[in-house]
A and B are shown apart, each in its own frame.
Chain A
Amino acid sequence: MTKNLFKRERLTSYDYLITREQPFSFVSEAFQKTLVNLEFVNVDGNLNVLQFTSSLAGAGKTTFISNIIYLLGQKNKKVVVIDLDLRKPRINRVFNAPNTNGVTDYLAGKINYETLVNYSDKLKVNYIVAGERTLSVVNVLEANKLKELIKKLKSEFDYVLVDSPPVIAVSDALYIAKLVDGVIFVVGQNEAKKTIINEAVSILRQNKVNIIGSVFTQVNVKDSEVLAYTYGYGYRYGYDDLNNKKKTND
């Protein structure tokens, strides 16, 4: 409660993609740079199914994935994001879509593959929501049909990005890690203590998870560093920019 009172609240609007709204801002540049690094790591092209996880909730996984998937879409890559955070699904919020006709519904045989995979005209990418809530999350994640689904997605898309729960809270991320080619570990600055983050990484390593890299999010960048990021382009990002952008859009 004290934390909430004194800490500035971080407003989360999943459908606001900064890479789309402000493509030349230094934050978008940072996402671009990360994507370049990600592609460099995947230079052989064998890491097509990527899972994003963190130690605890609030590290910014969904925000990161949504921006990366948008940038991949902009590069004409055929890409799909799948929400396997079945306990706290959020991908549907990125696309302003209802959390229906998702993974759990597909695995239960209620819908077919065509109904499962949605396309966003706005972001020009495919997405799969989590679907109806289920109590047997582990059973769902261990289902052969899910493995087959991932396999099918892998064959159809250049990239399959998987949003998954944090490592410390539940074991879901470890089950999901068996289905993917690699894991990106997302760390939010000041979000979790070092021991918690180290513990999460340790758990992933103990389970022989292929961690291909980490991403440091929500980093408080000093003004001097901001200038360094923008390479003197003169772009600034802030409330004013947001408001101006909004006014322009209106």
Chain B
Amino acid sequence: MDKNEDMDQGISLSDLFGLVKANILLILLITIFTTALAGAYAFTMIETKYSSTSEMMVLIYAGTNEDATNPNYQINAGQFVETTVSLIKSDTIINELRASNIVDIPENMTNNQIKKATTVNSKVNSFIITISFTNKDKVLAQDMADAITETTVLYLGSQFNGNFIKTTNASNPIPQTTNKLLYTIVGGLIGLALSAIIILVNRFLRNTYRTKEELEKGIEIQVLGVIPEYEIKESGKK
């Protein structure tokens, strides 16, 4: 296969435009279908969830090694806050929460689901930790944010040499707005990509003679003529 033949076998920008033009119906159908599918999913299937946030503060008591009741753990404030953040989403706190009965946790809600629904954040050089809980039930979201914060303050306060203070009660639940339009647009883009893949795969898998040279070489018969494709409109008929 010589270089010229290689070039003939390739696909040029003009070919690409030709392919798009020839398959515009397919592209439109697939794009409309995936857009509609994504839109239907976004607007009907995705449930609105609510999030409520509570805050707590962590203060470290700098005790001394001489006082056995107040040992100094050689821990800095940043590390302590980070450790607290990790502990909040641990089974220890969640089990304490279940045992405390201060909130009615649905029976089918597992520890892992609680961990996934819980978001704990802290800022650098700040002793404030924000605890958010997200659920489709706005009351439960608020109750859980409150309960997790309270349980953490009580449990860690009794276990560690620090001062844990609940600074803010759980906020009114805020709906977590999913960008449904974005979902729909992404659906459309996926449709475009999918149709492009289908067209290109079809183009490269189509095992037909495309050029005169290819035909001549394939069947080993001289080509006497190449007749271009032409179309006749109904109005063009006699």
Which A positions have Cβ atoms within 8 angstroms of B?
5-6, 8, 10-13, 15-16, 18, 21, 25-27, 30-31, 33-35, 37-38, 41, 60, 64, 184-185, 187, 189-195, 197-198, 201, 211, 213-224, 226, 229, 237, 239, 242-243, 245-246
Contact = CB atoms under 8 A, between A and B. Distances in A.
Contacts of B3: none
B223 interface: yes
Contact of B14 (A26, A191, A222): A222
Contact of B232 (A192, A218, A242): A242
Nearest to A18: B230
Contacts of A5: 25
Contact of B227 (A8, A218, A245): A218
Contacts of A193: 207-208
A164 B172 CA distance: 83
Contacts of B210: 189-190
Contact of A33 (B209, B225, B231): B225
A215 B236 contact: no
Given A16-B236, A189-B209, A190-B210, 14 more contacts: A6-B23, A6-B26, A11-B234, A27-B227, A38-B224, A38-B225, A184-B224, A185-B221, A194-B209, A195-B207, A214-B221, A214-B223, A215-B223, A239-B236
- Interchain residue pairs A-B with the least CB separation, the first 3: A34-B225, A213-B224, A242-B236
Given A6-B25, A190-B206, A220-B18, A213 B222 contact: yes
A19 to B, nearest CB: 10
Interface in B193-238: 206-210, 212, 215-216, 218-238
A239 to B, nearest CB: 6
Contacts of B212: 216, 219
B18 A201 contact: no
Contact of A216 (B22, B25, B223, B233): B223
The interface centre, meaning the residue of B208, B226, B227, B237 with most chain A CB atoms within 10 A of its CB, is B227
Interface of B: 14, 18, 22-23, 25-26, 206-210, 212, 215-216, 218-238
Contacts, number: 137
A12 B14 CA distance: 27
13 contacts: A15-B237, A16-B237, A30-B226, A189-B208, A189-B210, A193-B208, A194-B209, A213-B222, A220-B18, A222-B18, A229-B228, A239-B233, A239-B236
Contacts of B25: 5-6
Contact of B224 (A37, A194, A195, A226): A37
Contacts of A37: 224-225
Given A190-B206, A222-B14, A242 B226 contact: no
B230 A27 contact: yes
A195 B209 CA distance: 10
A187 to B, nearest CB: 6
Nearest to B25: A6
Contact of B215 (A25, A26, A38, A214): A214
A102 to B, nearest CB: 23
A131 to B, nearest CB: 24
A21 B233 CA distance: 13
A60 B225 CA distance: 13
Given A190-B206, A197-B219, A201-B219, A219 B231 contact: no
B210 to A, nearest CB: 7
Nearest to A191: B208
B208 A194 contact: yes
B7 to A, nearest CB: 14
B221 A13 contact: no
Contacts of A229: 228
A33 B224 CA distance: 8
B222 A239 contact: no
B231 to A, nearest CB: 6
B219 A214 contact: yes
A221 B229 contact: yes
Nearest to B14: A222
Given A190-B208, A194-B209, A13 B228 contact: no
